[in-house]
Structure 1
Amino acid sequence: MTRQFHKMHGLGNDFVVIDAREQPVTMTPALAKALADRHLGIGCDQLILLEPSTTADVKMRIWNHDGGEVESCGNASRCVVALTGAKSLETGGGKVEGGTFGAEVEVSLPPPHFAWDEVPLTYPMDTARLPLAWGPLEHPMALSVGNPHLVFFVDDERTIELTSLGPSIEHDPAFPERINVNVASVRDGDIHLRTWERGSGLTLACGTGACATAVAAIAQKKTNSPVKVHMRGGVLTVTWAPGDPIRMRGTATHVFTGEIDLAAFA
């Protein structure tokens, strides 16, 4: 049976979005992985399934490129708001509020969590400065913005070999649900960021990575809110104060609409 899908991206972080609110879809890790394959499927960083919600306008479920289901995705949230006009999204990482502002979309994520068991970590550690190191990367901040992140501040994020360090950090036993790895520099008050996303690898942009890194930079007084976060795919503006939700604003692009036979990939 053919189903309509939408190809979208937020700053190059790309998604396949399937609306299953009226006609349900049984999504499995194997099917999500097959659809995300850039050679044999449609191709995307994450697959997004929209379902009915009793607590928000839309329920959004997210599968990474490797087929693993995850809790939250900031860039996908902005794309779903742009596509559906929804003002609220139910996600595994909490309720997300959203709205459009001209050519940009802003979403508001729940306040970040810093407790070791909320990130989560395997055992208690100081999440503001983990006593861990991987090569040149050491003492990151760990936090959750609906999904788990590490943030490393370095002199120049471009010099870090994330393609080799990213997988080893993502799968370290210290992180029972794996973890997203952010390497950032602060220059002239702006953040310059590269992210290794768990289950997807290096991406052109990461919305929750931008949020986590902005929170870490503001908490450590390396910059002020609001702050611009520069990634390979473009720029997001993040606003946050302790105890408040995290607001993230940027573009969301609809690339094309197509149809696909899901049974052929099952």
Structure 2
Amino acid sequence: MLFTKMHGLGNNYIFFNLLECPLEEQKLSALAKAVSDVNFGIGSDGMILILPSEIADFRMRIFNADGSEGKNCGNGLRCVGKFLVDHLLVEKNTFSIETLGGIVDVTVQTGTNHVAVDMGEPKLRKELIPMKGESHSTTINQPFTIDGKEYHLTCVSMGNPHAIIFVDDVKAFPLEKVGPLIEHSELFPERVNVGIVHVKDGGEIDYRVWERGSGITMACATGACAAVVASILNGKIAKHRPVTVHLPGGDLEVTWDINNHIWQKGEAAYICHGEINLQAILYR
């Protein structure tokens, strides 16, 4: 079966075009784990499927490296948008993509690697994240004790859940230890992505992420959007202006616009194309 490996700021996935060739549902989780394996598979942060949709122009499904299904992926959306335009599967440069986290609009800049995505409105209520506690309340810089240590969390859903922590130095913070503790905390019934943020002079921010189901990755676009929302909610940067988010894999431009929508714009690029033996990789 043909595959394409793409990345958005180093956040890389194996993409399968299933617009005309479906795969068996019960094998999808195992396939995601198999192709993501760096030793016995192709190696990636996960797997993304491009599918037909009954309510949008296209549909996207995201599977993490551990086989769990995600609700949204901002880097993946940009890559899918570029793939569809480059492979002449769409006649226009702006179109809609259905995800488990909702429908988003994607705009591809022809002749470049840059793609802009309207991620919709951020969700702040605990019931929408989801997060334990009073359903209609929000979590903005609130202290929680996890594994005996206190962390101040700001929680945002951008189609998938994010817990944001502000730190002085994102490189020095022990994300590899703290990330899984918060991800699996009983506060979050569907687990959570954990982002650490340092706001710099001029409104730019440094950002690193622990992604649920994948661990530390080079970039997370929904997380970058959540980081900007959290920074604005905490009064650290101004609203309605582009913010440059510095991630290990590169920079992303994020804007909370006057219509309350979050826009993210950044790179989407090919790594390789190939063919994989599904039987061999699933039943090795």
Normalised TM-score (structure 2): 0.89
- The answer to whether residue 263 in structure 2 is matched with residue 247 in structure 1 is yes
Change (3 A) 1:137 1:39: farther
Kept after mapping to 1: 8 A contact 2:141/2:234 = no
Deviation at 1:219, TM superposition (A): 2.2
Deviation at 1:131, TM superposition (A): 3.0
> Which segment is superposed worse, 33-42 or 124-133?
124-133
- The answer to whether residue 189 in structure 2 is matched with residue 173 in structure 1 is no
Q: 2:15 aligns with which of 14, 17, 22?
A: 17
Unaligned stretches of 5+ in structure 2? none
- The answer to whether residue 94 in structure 2 is matched with residue 96 in structure 1 is no
Change (3 A) 1:175 1:144: same
Deviation at 1:221, TM superposition (A): 2.2
Residues 96-135 of structure 1: matches in 2 within 5 Å?
Answer: 96-101=104-109, 102-124=112-134, 126-134=138-146
Q: Tell me what 1:69 maps to.
A: 69
Kept after mapping to 2: 8 A contact 1:137/1:152 = no
Classify the secondary structure of the residue corresponding to 2:263.
Answer: strand
- The answer to whether residue 3 in structure 2 is matched with residue 5 in structure 1 is yes
Give a deviation string over 1:185-233, Cα, whole Å, max 9, x none: 0111101001000000000111111010011112222113210000110
Identity of aligned residues (%): 44
Deviation at 1:129, TM superposition (A): 2.8
Classify the secondary structure of the residue corresponding to 2:155.
Answer: strand
Kept after mapping to 2: 8 A contact 1:169/1:179 = yes
Normalised TM-score (structure 1): 0.95
- The answer to whether residue 211 in structure 2 is matched with residue 197 in structure 1 is yes
Q: Tell me what 1:256 maps to.
A: 272
Runs of 4+, deviation exceeding 2 Å: 122-126, 133-137
Classify the secondary structure of the residue corresponding to 1:141.
Answer: strand
Residues 129-168 of structure 1: matches in 2 within 5 Å?
Answer: 129-134=141-146, 138-168=151-181
Q: 2:234 aligns with which of 211, 220, 228?
A: 220
Unaligned stretches of 5+ in structure 1? none
Deviation at 1:241, TM superposition (A): 3.8
Name the CA distance, whole Å, in 1 between partners of 2:47 and 2:29.
10
Kept after mapping to 1: 8 A contact 2:167/2:197 = yes
Q: Which amino acid counterpart does residue 63 of structure 2 have in structure 1?
A: W
Change (3 A) 1:250 1:137: farther
Change (3 A) 1:139 1:153: same
Change (3 A) 1:242 1:157: farther
Change (3 A) 1:104 1:136: farther
Q: Which amino acid counterpart does residue 16 of structure 1 have in structure 2?
A: I
Q: Tell me what 1:80 maps to.
A: 80
Deviation at 1:137, TM superposition (A): 6.0
Deviation at 1:242, TM superposition (A): 6.8
Kept after mapping to 1: 8 A contact 2:197/2:208 = yes
Q: Which amino acid counterpart does residue 15 of structure 1 have in structure 2?
A: Y
Kept after mapping to 1: 8 A contact 2:124/2:138 = no
- The answer to whether residue 62 in structure 2 is matched with residue 50 in structure 1 is no
Name the CA distance, whole Å, in 2 between partners of 1:31 and 1:53.
22
Kept after mapping to 1: 8 A contact 2:143/2:150 = no
- The answer to whether residue 245 in structure 2 is matched with residue 229 in structure 1 is yes
Give a deviation string over 1:109-146, Cα, whole Å, max 9, x none: 12011111111012226411333044776211011000
Name the CA distance, whole Å, in 2 between partners of 1:242 and 1:176.
32
Classify the secondary structure of the residue corresponding to 1:199.
Answer: coil
Change (3 A) 1:207 1:235: same
Kept after mapping to 1: 8 A contact 2:7/2:268 = yes
